[in-house]
Amino acid sequence: MPRVSGTREKSSALIALGAVVRGQRKALDLSQEELADEASIDRSHMGKIERGERNVTVLNMIRIAKALGTDVSEIFAEAGL
Amino acid sequence: MPRVSGTREKSSALIALGAVVRGQRKALDLSQEELADEASIDRSHMGKIERGERNVTVLNMIRIAKALGTDVSEIFAEAGL
């Protein structure tokens, strides 16, 4: 049975999600470092999330959405997920 | 800096999310085992997700949404997230 056990998964869904995070961050004129700090997420981890290189958790998505001033549902909807 | 490194996090957001998954599953008259199998997620893991005892990943949320015939954004919206 295929299971998602790791966090290093590359997928078109993660890439789409990361692109939305990056787009919303840039729309707010925030640097990646500023968003990472605001969301209390490690800076290098944030870069990997934006590139779709990490299978983000729900709690980190909530932190990111809060830092972007939006809802998690909005981010997923914009990513077509 | 507080980081989300583990998967065993209890939070009201995870509890709300799990409740939505459970509610949608029951509305489809699926057992927890059937949903787990359909989503290719370990059965005991699915139980913990529904009880809000696991910090679910995006890829698992996508599998669950697909198995429920809905979108991840809809699940988060229903959970108020």
User: Whole-number mean pLDDT of chain B?
Assistant: 91
B59·A1 Cβ contact <8 A: no
Confidence at residue B5, expressed as pLDDT on a 0 to 100 scale: 42
Chain A residues whose C-beta is within 8 A of a chain B C-beta are: 1-4, 7, 9, 11, 13-14, 17, 40-42, 55-63, 65, 71-74, 76-77, 81
Domain A12-78 has CATH 1.10.260.40: yes
Confidence at residue B42, expressed as pLDDT on a 0 to 100 scale: 95
Contact list in B for residue A62 (CB cut-off 8 A) is 13, 81
- Runs of H (alpha helix) within A6-71: 12-27, 32-39, 43-50, 58-68
**Tens-digit pLDDT profile for residues B8-31:** 656 999 999 999 999 999 999 999
Confidence at residue B8, expressed as pLDDT on a 0 to 100 scale: 60
pTM score of the predicted model: 0.87
Q: What is d(CA B49, CA B71) in angstroms, rounded to the nearest whole number? A: 17
Could you tell me which chain B residue has the CA closest to the CA of A78?
B73
ipTM: 0.86
